[in-house]
């Protein structure tokens, strides 16, 4: 898992809680990296799981909620760090399809070893979008947070509904539709 | 519980180590980039090589093909092979067969005065006129730089001379003009030879036609000479 996920997570904890919390969390998990992360590095996904679980324990926030909050935070950070991916995009309906078709392809040019989730997108009707999330990391809550972050960023009046894939275990389906 | 100083110290230490790790990654990446650029260089060199090989092969294909690229007529190779066979068969069965050796007059002058593009145009036009004036069964070939050759099966020398006269008349009457406005005309000389009852090969036939061609040149050009016979001038006159 690329280092940027780790660095952004710890920075979010520091900003939204305190530097002391970050130290507490790091003290209570056994990390091969020692908690030393650089955004361009690669680290074991299990370390992220351990950090999230421990943070949940320390803060009392359930893991899914913590991941969703992180997803929303991460989206805003992506906008700040990688403005080129958002140029000319006016809504999440417009942007989300490019995550798979453009953004992740660009990421893979620099980081061939990056294991990125796949987002199969279907525009089912005008103003509607269906995304199928598949990932070896299995973090649908994080994906949900990112999508919520997108909706918030573009100021869309969209509702987000999530359901397990009817036939594929592990895959999650997200439906975006105009708010009633 | 850690105090503020401890928290900051630990954080500072982690960031220091992270920065060092980032530097190492940057160094690795730049080494990878260098290797990749080497690969690209090699691939480009290989492509250059492949292009050169393809060019060579294309040259070989052209050599092996049967047509002359400039005029579209058959090439010397084909003439030797096919013409040779026809001569053998005609000789064996006692059928008439003639050859025409055609040489464009003062062709070097055309190239020197009007340029090689004009020379090429003249050759192409001569080839077109030649094809138009011969039958489907005749073999028209480019024999050399400005030499054309026709093998006419089932044709006696009289017939071959008739066709040759028509050809040189048509060529002489064709105006050539190049882009800067220079107009000029071109003529040709022709030597004709017919299959001898004593036996012939394509080689000997062409030799005799060539000798007749030489006489046509010597006799003033723009004329047809038949081996072993009087000179037939392009304008219909007869002389030696």
Instruction: For A24-33, write each residue's pLDDT tens digit.
Output: 999 999 999 9
**What's the pLDDT tens digit per position in B144-160?**
889 999 999 999 999 99
Judged on CB neighbours under 10 Å (0-12, 13-18, 19+), A133 is buried
B174 shares a domain with B105: yes
- The yes-or-no verdict on residue B230 having pLDDT over 80 is no
**pLDDT, mean of residues A74-102:** 94
- The yes-or-no verdict on residue B134 having pLDDT over 60 is yes
Nearest to A129 by CA among A145, A112, A107, A151: A151
**pLDDT, mean of residues A46-50:** 95
B164 shares a domain with B189: yes
Closest Cα in chain A, distance from residue B37 (Å) = 15
Closest-CA residue of chain B to A34? B14
pLDDT score, position B185: 93
Q: Is B130 a member of any domain? A: yes
Q: Is B114 a member of any domain? A: yes
The verdict on a CB contact (< 8 Å) between B17 and A34 is yes
B80 shares a domain with B61: no
**pLDDT, mean of residues B224-240:** 61
B172 shares a domain with B83: yes
Assign residue A74 a region (left: φ > 0; alpha: ψ between -120 and 50; beta: otherwise).
Answer: alpha
Closest-CA residue of chain A to B22? A38
Burial A56-95 (b: 16+ CB within 10 A, else e): beeeebeebebbbbbbbbbbebbbeeeeebbeebebbbeb
| Domain edge (last residue) among B65, B96, B117 | B65
Q: Is B81 a member of any domain? A: yes
Integer Cα distance of A132 and B226 in angstroms: 89
Residues of A in contact with B7 (CB under 8 A): 19-20, 23
Q: Work out whether the CA dihedral A81, A82, A87, A91 comes out positive or negative.
A: negative
B83 shares a domain with B58: no
The verdict on a CB contact (< 8 Å) between B25 and A40 is yes
Q: How far is CA B90 from CA A14, B187, B191, in A?
A: 103, 31, 20
Q: Is B71 a member of any domain? A: no
Confidence tier at A124 by pLDDT (50, 70, 90) = confident
B151 shares a domain with B61: no
List the structure tokens of B20: 């060092």
| Domain edge (last residue) among B37, B65, B93 | B65
Integer Cα distance of A89 and A102 in angstroms: 13
B41 shares a domain with B135: no
Domain count, chain B: 2
Q: Which residues of A touch B (CB under 8 A)?
A: 7, 19-20, 22-24, 34-41
**What's the pLDDT tens digit per position in B96-105?**
999 999 999 9
pLDDT score, position B198: 82
Closest Cα in chain B, distance from residue A160 (Å) = 37
- The yes-or-no verdict on residue B240 having pLDDT over 80 is no
pLDDT score, position B229: 65
Question: Closest partner residue to A38 among B7, B11, B22, by Cβ?
Answer: B22
Integer Cα distance of B109 and B121 in angstroms: 14
Do residues A158 and A176 touch, judged by C-beta distance below 8 A? yes
Q: What is the number of other CB atoms lying within 10 angstroms of the CB of residue B124?
A: 14
B126 shares a domain with B42: no
Judged on CB neighbours under 10 Å (0-12, 13-18, 19+), B68 is buried
B163 shares a domain with B195: yes
Confidence tier at B52 by pLDDT (50, 70, 90) = very high
| Domain edge (last residue) among B65, B97, B115 | B65
Q: What is the CATH number of the domain that holds B112?
A: 3.30.70.270
Integer Cα distance of A180 and B188 in angstroms: 92
**pLDDT, mean of residues B29-44:** 94
Q: Say what the ipTM of the complex is.
A: 0.79
Integer Cα distance of A138 and A143 in angstroms: 9
Q: Is B227 a member of any domain? A: yes
pLDDT score, position B236: 46
Do residues B212 and B225 touch, judged by C-beta distance below 8 A? yes
In chain A, the DSSP E strands lie at 118-122, 129-134, 158-164, 172-178
**pLDDT, mean of residues B139-144:** 95
Q: How long a stretch of residues is chain A?
A: 180
**What's the pLDDT tens digit per position in B60-107?**
887 778 899 899 999 999 999 999 999 999 999 999 999 999 999 999
Determine the structural domain holding residue B42 and report its residue range.
Answer: 1-65
Percent of chain A at pLDDT above 90? Answer: 83
């Amino acid at each position: 898992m690329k280092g940027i996920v780790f660095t952004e997570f710890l920075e979010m904890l520091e900003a939204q809680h305190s530097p002391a919390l970050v130290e507490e969390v790091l003290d209570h998990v056994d990390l091969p990296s020692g908690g030393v992360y650089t955004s361009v590095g690669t680290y074991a996904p299990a370390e992220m799981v351990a950090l999230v679980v421990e943070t949940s324990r320390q803060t009392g926030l359930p893991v899914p909620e913590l991941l969703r909050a992180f997803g929303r935070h991460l989206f805003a950070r992506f906008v700040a760090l990688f403005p080129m991916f958002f140029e000319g995009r006016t809504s999440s309906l417009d942007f989300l399809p490019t995550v798979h078709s453009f953004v992740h392809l660009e990421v893979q040019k620099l980081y061939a070893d990056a294991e990125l989730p796949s987002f199969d997108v279907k525009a089912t009707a005008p103003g509607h979008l269906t995304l199928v999330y598949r990932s070896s990391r299995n973090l649908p809550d994080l994906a949900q947070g990112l999508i919520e972050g997108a909706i918030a960023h573009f100021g869309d009046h969209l509702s987000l509904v999530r359901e397990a894939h009817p036939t594929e275990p592990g895959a999650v389906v997200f439906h975006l539709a105009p708010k009633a | 519980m850690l105090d503020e100083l401890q928290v900051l110290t630990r954080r500072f230490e982690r960031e220091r180590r992270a920065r060092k790790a980032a530097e190492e990654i940057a160094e690795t990446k730049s080494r990878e980039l260098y290797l990749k650029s080497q690969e690209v260089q090699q691939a480009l060199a290989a492509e250059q090589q492949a292009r050169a090989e393809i060019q060579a092969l294309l040259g070989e294909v052209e050599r092996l093909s049967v047509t002359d690229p400039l005029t579209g007529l058959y090439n010397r190779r084909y003439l030797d092979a096919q013409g040779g066979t026809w001569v053998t068969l005609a000789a064996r069965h006692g059928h008439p067969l003639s050859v025409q050796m055609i040489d464009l007059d003062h062709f070097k002058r055309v190239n020197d005065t009007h340029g090689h593009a004009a020379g090429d145009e003249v050759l192409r036009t001569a080839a077109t006129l030649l094809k138009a004036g011969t039958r489907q069964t005749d073999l028209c070939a480019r024999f050399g730089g400005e030499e054309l050759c026709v093998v006419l099966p089932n044709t006696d020398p009289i017939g071959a001379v008739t066709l040759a006269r028509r050809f040189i008349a048509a060529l002489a009457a064709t105006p050539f003009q190049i882009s800067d406005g220079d107009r000029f005309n071109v003529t040709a000389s022709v030597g004709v030879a017919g299959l001898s009852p004593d036996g012939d090969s394509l080689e000997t036939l062409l030799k005799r036609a060539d000798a007749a061609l030489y006489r046509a040149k010597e006799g003033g050009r723009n004329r047809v000479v038949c081996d072993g016979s009087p000179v037939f001038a392009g304008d219909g006159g007869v002389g030696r």
